[in-house]
Structure 1
Amino acid sequence: MANPSVNVYLDKQEYGKDRVRLLKVHKDTKVHRVDDLTIRVLLSGEAFTTSYTEASNKAVVATDSMKNTCYILAKSSKVVDTLELFAAELANHFLNTYAWVQGAHVTIIRHRWARMIVDGKPHNHSFWRDGDETRQTDIFIKRGQNAQDRTVELKSAISGLLVLKTTGSSFEDFVRDEYTTLPEAKDRILSTCVEANWDFTLPFIHNSASLLPTLSQVPFNAIYDSVREVTCKTFAEDESASVQATLYKMAAQSIQNWKWVQKVAYALPNRHFFPVDLKYFRGTQNLNEHADVYQPVADPSGLITATVTRAPDTSVARL
């Protein structure tokens, strides 16, 4: 039974449209490009409180209108192929259009398409789905005390990058006690599905009109390409003593490469491949240095996470 004498209040709220699917085809040259996007738009502000507490829709912008806005701006935008800028354009639009909206939160996922190779050459307008890897960005723009001021929080990410190497990884000298059955491994398969995100060092307040020009100074596409390349190169070349040690090198390198990157976080599940013991079959050797047939084991898996942050005395970006 509810107790009407207990006071409650609405603590937090956001609402909007999720999973807006959008394909933008760039036809400015004979070589077409595609951006296959999934978009989430969430709005917040005190004006929406009464829609929860008093069943009043007077301030509610229909989520269908948010969906339509995504399509309309994608038609006119010149920055759809830079997720961070398109997300900022969308979020800033809602703040500029609806004076009572205090915060706009936009998340965009870009699904990966690769150009088909036909007769040994990249085809101008045909593509194939290049796995489940996605590029993502998440931006929250909040109205400042001055109606034209903007506070910006921005991060970008790689998700679903599945990698594997067949040597160059070990795991030794770990704690051994009565619970330990795992043997030490001087050489093992290392595989993970990379989840990485990075926060940008940006000015806290932007004027609404200067928001996009200011953000345009940051080479977002180059930073994404670089973080992905560093992730793959470090994974491939590092003589890994542990997933932890390799993760740290990945994150530190990207912070050192880009003055705009404030912190980098990774979540690396250790996808296990165990050699199959075949000694029961005519004494076939398939362990240790003889191993070349493995059983993938999905669950349970190790999970290694960490966030590496730029030290306070390190120089930061000034746009």
Structure 2
Amino acid sequence: MAVLGPNRYGKAETRVVRVTRHGDAHRIKDLTVSTALSGDMTEVHLSGDNSAVLPTDTQKNTVFAFAKKHGVGAIEDFALLLARHFTDARPAIHHARVAIEEHAWERNGAFGHSFVRSGREVRTCVAHHDGTRSWVVSGLRDLVVLNTTNSEFWGFAKDEYTTLPETRDRVLATAVEAAWRHDEPPQDWDKSYENARGALLAAFADTYSLSLQQTLYAMGTRVLAECPEVCEVRLSLPNKHHFPVDLAPFGLDNDGEVFFAADRPYGLIEGTVLREDAPEPGPAWE
């Protein structure tokens, strides 16, 4: 006999751009919003009764309407606003999950109306609301960083298939994907984000690395130290390998100057750093 397990449905990757006009000085918020709702959805699965289903098209329209009615400030605030609306508006909906990615733009010169897409990372957040409690995870992805020195890798396990040479000086590069869970919501989401981002960058730069795992732990620890509202940090760090090129066939030395930047395969280092007294996460990471 089959029974229905956990389920949810929603509208994925709604692209919304909100322009705020203050005279000649405009501001852009460029978002990708994904909503997912769950609750009393048994009959739609078992019999096709759609009476409890809020159409995904309606969810999309709500994103656009809320962008107009409420504006878009910090993405965490916008995500919570949507999650609480969906949970409170329909009795059959018991839980709402709203995930947002923010795509940054910078002003093009002195023109208040002209913008260029920023090369910065993508800011992210996931907000949950179950009608009583809310959970928020902030984060980022594609934060590309590189150290030209102060990194080693040696003393690792070896077997008959090991060909990697040990090194006492290497390029260390990665594209940081990080997410951090809040014990309490900060007073200013934007400031909290910049503090966490700054902690990640500082720890990557000033950690003398004997392994990318060591760097990961240092980065997570720095965020916890500088952001008291954060109780858990999860990091995914692909090792963007840079291999010295053998220039001897051309009669040239290569004293750590010319590298081949390989895109795949790559090492992938993942881990979590959390406070000893961190509360249980609830559905925050789902």
Q: What's the TM-score, normalizing by structure 1?
A: 0.83
Secondary structure at the residue paired with 1:16?
Answer: coil
What is the aligned counterpart of 2:33 among 20, 28, 39?
A: 39
CA contact 1:285–1:291 (8 Å) conserved in 2: no
Aligned to 1:155: 137
In the alignment, structure 2 segments of 5+ residues that lack a partner are 280-286
Q: How does 1:166-315 map to 2 (within 5 A)?
A: 166-202=148-184, 215=185, 218-281=187-250, 283-286=251-254, 290-312=255-277
Q: Which amino acid aligns with 2:230?
A: V
Q: How does 1:127-166 map to 2 (within 5 A)?
A: 127-131=115-119, 133-143=121-131, 150-166=132-148
Q: Deviations over 1:187-208 (max 9, x none)?
A: 1111101000001114xxxxxx
In 1, the alpha carbon distance for the partners of 2:129 and 2:117 equals 32
Please tell me whether residue 91 in structure 1 is matched to residue 89 in structure 2. Answer: no
Deviation at 1:313, TM superposition (A): 8.6
Secondary structure at the residue paired with 2:265?
Answer: strand
Secondary structure at the residue paired with 2:153?
Answer: coil
| Distance change in 2, residues 1:29/1:263 (3 Å) | farther
What is the aligned counterpart of 1:70 among 37, 55, 63?
A: 63
Deviation at 1:235, TM superposition (A): 1.7
Q: Which amino acid aligns with 2:125?
A: T
Deviation at 1:255, TM superposition (A): 0.8
Q: What's the TM-score, normalizing by structure 2?
A: 0.92
In 1, the alpha carbon distance for the partners of 2:151 and 2:113 equals 40
Secondary structure at the residue paired with 1:18?
Answer: coil
Percent identical residues? 37
CA contact 2:180–2:231 (8 Å) conserved in 1: yes
Q: Which amino acid aligns with 2:70?
A: S
Secondary structure at the residue paired with 1:89?
Answer: helix
Q: Which has the higher strand share?
A: 1
Please tell me whether residue 108 in structure 1 is matched to residue 90 in structure 2. Answer: no
Q: Deviations over 1:131-163 (max 9, x none)?
A: 3721111011113xxxxxx12221111111112
In 2, the alpha carbon distance for the partners of 1:173 and 1:295 equals 24
Secondary structure at the residue paired with 1:27?
Answer: strand
Q: Deviations over 1:44-75 (max 9, x none)?
A: 111x2111110111111111111111111111
Q: Which amino acid aligns with 1:74?
A: A
Secondary structure at the residue paired with 2:68?
Answer: helix
Q: Which amino acid aligns with 1:225?
A: E
Greater Rg over alpha carbons, structure? 1
In 2, the alpha carbon distance for the partners of 1:312 and 1:34 equals 39
Please tell me whether residue 21 in structure 1 is matched to residue 15 in structure 2. Answer: yes
CA contact 1:218–1:260 (8 Å) conserved in 2: no
In 1, the alpha carbon distance for the partners of 2:278 and 2:94 equals 33
In the alignment, structure 1 segments of 5+ residues that lack a partner are 1-6, 144-149, 203-214, 315-319
